Structure 1
């Protein structure tokens, strides 16, 4: 028996047909991801299922007494606490609790208590608190008024209310857009265990792989269902398109590029877990350019050129706003080809750190030393508000590239898929994804050595996200990435840095290790909350605090002592990358047939001599790198 039946559905908006005789069946307990290109009608379909708009043809049928829940469009507000707001979203429970306090009819009172028992009403506060904690609200925040929080945090409260209701059918439209990566990972886990059915519109590939059981693709005004997560959908779609379009030559070229990339990072991939995860994630990219969209999406970043190390160093730096310090004791270093994902809960200083590196904030103390030649490109979603809505992308780019010719201006926009038509469209008429592409084009207009991306994918569809991953993999500069998209992080980053407790520290491990660390931290926090309510809690806490402080001090001292060794390893990795590039260039010259068609015997001998020297230096550097890695492993074990 189906929970939801969509039969021959036709939907039109402003005279435009979005769905035409489309059909889909959702069974009880089935979690389905809904995908399709921007503007295909995914959100409109959710609105029709929820009853907000009437179909133009066909039918939408929800079985029997099944309940349906979704995130409300209006954000919550008022003086009620977050916990009370979530609890009050369960209207039946609220009504029954009130009636239990007021009714004088013994029979009715018995019925009320029986129903409260059936809906597990007394466990509701604990369940609501757990959901809020998973979405980033600690115990203190849960008891603050909703009006204390900004719009993005209120959207989390609205999401918490929808999850708390635990309906038979849950409708979610881009649920991760206002979440950090910690909350996104929690939501993935929650959805994977949700016993009800769900229809989830999302561009988050990891969520679609880890939390749903099938993919519904809205394409050509029809709905098709593919079992499995997004990776399985990509495999099926790729095979179909490759057979249809006979793109074997293109596939071979993409594989060659992937092999070149693996060779370029082979030194890092030997032992660095995050680098290995990155290669595995890249290997799962679709083998064709366009999986969801009708036309391929391509991004390319300009070559920044070489920059001698170090690119940037920080020694005991503090930074903040006005008199308020947000981050302190920052002692870090960046080099060319560093690929770093900056993780941590929202509000812990990730964007502050990005602004510091981008030169938008001045250090409050310490030594901040960038290379004199360093060029930085900075992308942040809030920059959308700074775009002039009546101007076109061409006008924006021409104003910032004052010495560029019109073809050069158009070429920079074309790097991010803004073709002639979209380049001449006023910003007010661009989609969210097109505005994001414009911001990427503006951020990279001066070929930056360091690219800082703060949530770059919020408005990019699945194909555009894959195009961004490919472009970043080919980019010759360093990358600092802040994103809630764990697939993007795994595909781009070789290192993880954590923003927490007022500072930023490297994390030793990959995203899987980070997930396990988050789970352990959540269990520890839950246990601490339980112990705090026990009579002996205060004495036990006083007894254990000195030990924790001592352990923290020991870890900090170990990090300080190992800093020179870690720096040496990064320098060796940079040297290996450059030697690999030099070797490839020499081999390419020696492979050129023209070299052997004239009297170039002297040139050939010189090139062979240079190649032998580069290979010797490679072997020596690799040996030094392995010795340094072994020393680091022994010191940290």
Structure 2
């Protein structure tokens, strides 16, 4: 499907690709991985023609259609369903032509419409939209009524509906909730055409792609299998290269020693010259040493509090005089609980997190909460809300004014914010650097409870693993909201579900929840129907 030969590209004073070559099989689903900043998004721009290579070629089959989700869909007066239908440009053009076509042309138009299955298009579009969290009522709403995050989903839905020959997706799960991410994983796994997907979502890369394309040191290397297979093969490759390099270095040292000893002796001069030529011909073994990933520092509370940290009895919570967002809350959070909070966007997860953090008062009911509780709260909009002119040093000085300047700098370095970045403004830091900084800041004072709302959006796979390790070492309570299924599975020991205006324990594990999400999407059930489905499921599990 895509052939890249000797691609070289330089920009911003650095070389992104250095005579890189790779061929992607037809109809292959490929995960594009590599450290932040290595050139993954740059490769997309080269494929689409937005950037031009300095040398080399990128080849696609003639007339191949590209699909890329680059930005949110415009806020137009066109309805949601019609917007998705228009993404199939051939169908749209045929219906437009049909309005003014001559009688002798109509038969050809109708024949082609039947051939492309045009009459089922509205149902297919609605199925995609339901999978991405839109309700039946949303289908008739104009695009202008949706927020930017939802219009990003529309752009993704339009690309999936159009079924281009090569679908390019750049971090598609970053603007989805867990339910949308689970649906997308299943959708991509059976996508009929080729797809190239930049993602740091380990679960998606293990379930939805058959190849991993790794970007490193200006080269492109294709591996078969999912991300776990890639890690194993890359580790084995590095081990073999390390052994070969060590063997070559030993041989080089031996040859150099002989040359140094006998170069001046006439009787050994010829042998010394022979060994010098051999040394010159030896090609150093290429050995990539990956940059070390700094750990997350999540200190455990020094003085554990008596359980429970939080008890809710018939609690109702909301904003102002508007109807309650959540009601009938009867829950208990203990000192070492790890809660994974599930639910579609808009179900009240962030409202629950705000209440648990002490930032939103309850309207009615009883909430038992220890007044000494320390809370570290990371929410997904903090990164965008940072003062763009404030530096990392400014932030830590404000948070720990009693500490010395050297202590501030040492702590930031430990967090992975090097000395060269500590005086850089937030605007100039990468998304991953800002997320890393904020996550460490909210946990700096060893809170009893960590509330993490989409903490992984800007983190690469290795940084997500570092966060997982830190959370598993942390001895306090955790409430986790994330679209990253792997993180949810490996951190949470209890699942709570926000649905139909309340939060209740979910009877089952992530496999059960994934099946439920896909069953609901397949049946076209709206998210508001979740509570009835879950009551029936929980009752059935209890009987079993």
The whole-number CA distance in structure 1 between the counterparts of 2:61 and 2:501 is 51
Q: Give yes or no for the alignment of 1:33 onto 2:31.
A: yes
Cα gap change, 1:297 to 1:237, in 2 (>3 Å): farther
Q: Give yes or no for the alignment of 1:502 onto 2:485.
A: no
1:422 to partner: Cα distance = 2.3
Q: After superposition, give the CA deviation of every residue in 1:481-524 in whole Å (9 maximum; x if it has no partner).
A: 00001011011111111110000011111111111222333344
Pick 1 or 2: higher relative contact order, CA cutoff 8 A, min separation 6. Answer: 2
Give the superposed CA RMSD. 2.5
Corresponding residue number in structure 2 for 1:20: 18
Q: Give yes or no for the alignment of 1:5 onto 2:3.
A: yes
Q: After superposition, give the CA deviation of every residue in 1:253-300 in whole Å (9 maximum; x if it has no partner).
A: xxxxxxxxxxxxxxxxxxxxxxxxxxxxxxxxxxxxxx9952233112
Cα gap change, 1:501 to 1:482, in 2 (>3 Å): same
The whole-number CA distance in structure 1 between the counterparts of 2:533 and 2:449 is 37
Q: Residue 128 of structure 2 is aligned with which of 126, 131, 141?
A: 131
SS in 1 for 2:483: coil
Question: Whose helix fraction is larger, Structure 1's or Structure 2's?
Answer: 1
Q: After superposition, give the CA deviation of every residue in 1:509-549 in whole Å (9 maximum; x if it has no partner).
A: 111111122233334446x99xxxxxxxxxxxxxxx9xx98
Q: After superposition, give the CA deviation of every residue in 1:92-143 in whole Å (9 maximum; x if it has no partner).
A: 211110111211241x222212221222211111111110110000110111
Cα gap change, 1:88 to 1:422, in 2 (>3 Å): same
Residue 433 of structure 1 contacts residue 459 of structure 1 at CA under 8 Å; is this kept in 2? Answer: yes
The whole-number CA distance in structure 2 between the counterparts of 1:208 and 1:5 is 22
User: Gapped runs of 5+ residues in structure 1?
Assistant: 247-290, 530-544, 560-632
SS in 2 for 1:513: helix
Corresponding residue number in structure 2 for 1:307: 305
1:74 to partner: Cα distance = 4.9
1:475 to partner: Cα distance = 0.5
Q: Give yes or no for the alignment of 1:166 onto 2:149.
A: no
Residue 295 of structure 2 contacts residue 466 of structure 2 at CA under 8 Å; is this kept in 1? Answer: yes
Corresponding residue number in structure 2 for 1:250: none
1:76 to partner: Cα distance = 2.3
User: Gapped runs of 5+ residues in structure 2?
Assistant: 244-287
Cα gap change, 1:60 to 1:152, in 2 (>3 Å): same
The whole-number CA distance in structure 1 between the counterparts of 2:533 and 2:66 is 51
Cα gap change, 1:292 to 1:466, in 2 (>3 Å): farther
The whole-number CA distance in structure 1 between the counterparts of 2:348 and 2:40 is 34
Q: Give yes or no for the alignment of 1:461 onto 2:460.
A: yes
Residue 76 of structure 1 contacts residue 158 of structure 1 at CA under 8 Å; is this kept in 2? Answer: no
Cα gap change, 1:371 to 1:245, in 2 (>3 Å): farther
Corresponding residue number in structure 2 for 1:103: 101
Q: TM-score, normalised by structure 1?
A: 0.74
Cα gap change, 1:524 to 1:105, in 2 (>3 Å): closer
The whole-number CA distance in structure 2 between the counterparts of 1:194 and 1:503 is 35
Residue 191 of structure 1 contacts residue 211 of structure 1 at CA under 8 Å; is this kept in 2? Answer: yes
The whole-number CA distance in structure 2 between the counterparts of 1:551 and 1:146 is 31
1:427 to partner: Cα distance = 1.4
1:429 to partner: Cα distance = 1.4
The whole-number CA distance in structure 2 between the counterparts of 1:365 and 1:185 is 35
Q: TM-score, normalised by structure 2?
A: 0.86
Q: Give yes or no for the alignment of 1:332 onto 2:325.
A: no
Residue 415 of structure 1 contacts residue 441 of structure 1 at CA under 8 Å; is this kept in 2? Answer: no
SS in 2 for 1:342: strand
Corresponding residue number in structure 1 for 2:139: 142
Cα gap change, 1:425 to 1:99, in 2 (>3 Å): same
Corresponding residue number in structure 2 for 1:538: none
